[in-house]
Structure 1
Amino acid sequence: MQLPKEGIFLGRVWRPEFEGPSIVTIRDNNVVDITNKTYPLIRDICEMDDPAHYVEHAEGENIGTLEDIAQNRVSDFSRPHFLAPLDLQAVKACGVTFANSMVERVIEERAAGNAQEANAIRERIGKLIGNSLKDIQAGSQEADRVKHILIEEGLWSQYLEVGIGPDAEVFSKAQTLSSVGPNADVGLHPASNWNNPEPEVVLIVSSTGDIVGATLGNDVNLRDIEGRSALLLSKAKDNNASCAIGPMIRLFDQSFTLDTVRNAELELKVTGEDGFVMTGYSSMKEISRDPTDLVSQTIGRHHQYPDGLVLFLGTLFAPTQDRDTPGEGFTHKLGDIVEISAPELGCLKNTVRLSTQCPEWTFGTRQLMRNLAKRNLI
């Protein structure tokens, strides 16, 4: 498991001797268990005024090296292994947050794959809104003008409404505690035949709306199911093992801030058992809504999260590389290795399976509370 050499990291490890999870940090390449009765949950630490300071100085137990624990199989509950670095937080996600790429995809769809027609549409629009579709600020007067131009061109859609309109798309990605972590299998609904990974930055947000850190996520995307109807979003997004988060939370401090997130560059690599390799990227510099705007649209007087939340920020990545048949684009095959990385956050690595093949999610909130009580932590 790859992590930057610097930074204050917070995560969770399964402890077989306790039959449950512990809170850990990394010190000198060692995994240190900092769980205690005062702060037994990731949620509790993220509610503090200065989580990074607490984690940096908390007393703990060295339970092994990062390399040793990271190489243990996630499905082997007889050995310690990393889990998704969150517990009671709600798992929310934003869609269509990179408006310029969305506009481009709609233009290409309208042109039915004809490059000359796409260029003609782009040129007509360009004469009205400028030579570039970049830097559209969602919800702005300029975005509203672009909206009317696109309507006149017959290009408007519900996705573009949330892409450049005043209201962001925010949906529930996964159930509390259901996310998988680094090196785990990530699941595709067996009904899907057209799907792809979505590399994203995931913010860690307290119950008061404070952003305290960030990590990486794979918002697994079932393009065929969601494409049939936007009302199938829940079926497309929330399935067994369909949400991967990790490898660990990097807490904000002097060396890692929200501005670091705003400038993050994510890389994606998919390696298939068939020898296929696809690479991609997502640049946070091109996001159309500032992370603070997305957070404020999610949590506030209109909607509370007493245990905080994690928020996927969306992706610029849109796969177009053909895998098998020319013109059919990319879709996953079982056994694909997905690696999402950023220099400041490390690497989240998962293996693609069907949701019905991934281990069933059985350790929910009730079991977590019982486990903590058994250990005299609550």
Structure 2
Amino acid sequence: MHAVFAEHVADYVNAGLVAFPVDARAKRPLVRNWERAGTNASRAWASNPRFAGAEGIGIRMGGIVEVDVDAAGDAWLQSAVERFGDTPVRIRTASGKGKLWYRGNGEGRRIRPFRGLPIDVLGGGFTIAPPSWREDLGAAYRFLSGSVANLNDLPTIRAGALEDGYTRAAEGVQDGERNNALWRHCMTQARFCDDVEALIDVAASWAGSFPDPLGLVEVERCARSAWRYECEGRNYLGLRKPQITAEDGYMDDLIDQPEALVLYQMFKRWHSKRPNFAIAPTAMSEAGSPPWHRTRIIRARDVLIERGFIQEVSRPIRGRRAGRYRFAEQMADSGKDHYTPSPPG
């Protein structure tokens, strides 16, 4: 048994962070009201025999923003460093993936904001911190570099790293992806140009750095296509806060967890006007609403809790009472683009 929480909570509390016990495997807090707790609550949980032996330690984000690299290997982690800037604190998760910590600067919580990159930016919610232990993997979260002692030395994320998620270096664009890359670049640059001729100049300059440059006719075609979308008010590519419905945001933030998305939509239909509601996985399964085994419902529910869509009001006691939950007051920003068409042929 690894009593991580009781042994290491003081490290984070002394650094001014709110820490609480978590189930590191389920990535779920073991206590309620962690969103509003202070460091005194962290100390109280550590002295409570019920939580002192917890193998996971969670910390509330805000003062820290985490770049969560959801792919194993040093190459992915180094790629993230090149994008977001260097930081003294690098972390390896129990499953071999990576995390980078920076000083929070109001980034919010963004799930998969960069197309094609397995990266989340977590400036809200919570994260699991070293040296949390995963018994199922027989491994711990650990610092690759730095430690809690370096938290006061954290830099902010590099300027522009969050806004240019839909552009890339021209030198790395290969044959077969030139049109797509150039069109996307034009879409992100169109709002900064006074007319289409200026955009064509920008496009020609950028595309001139391709290893195998495009001809001027193709460059103009991409630029004029992007300019048409800009003039018609249909260019949302790369906007930090596109004009979308709440439902679009829910879909983007749960696109990798379709069962959680379905469950959330069901809860919104049934309980949107209620201050809180019960989730009874066994009864729901038996009623066929949804027609899943109770364990699937539990997993989907836990994803909604972890990602901040719902909050636990009262903990379930199996065989005695269902847990009660409420909708979170603020949903996570997806940071994605919406309603943007495909590039020209």
Q: TM-score range by the shorter chain?
A: under 0.3
Higher strand share: 1
Give the structure-1-normalised TM-score. 0.20
Give the structure-2-normalised TM-score. 0.21
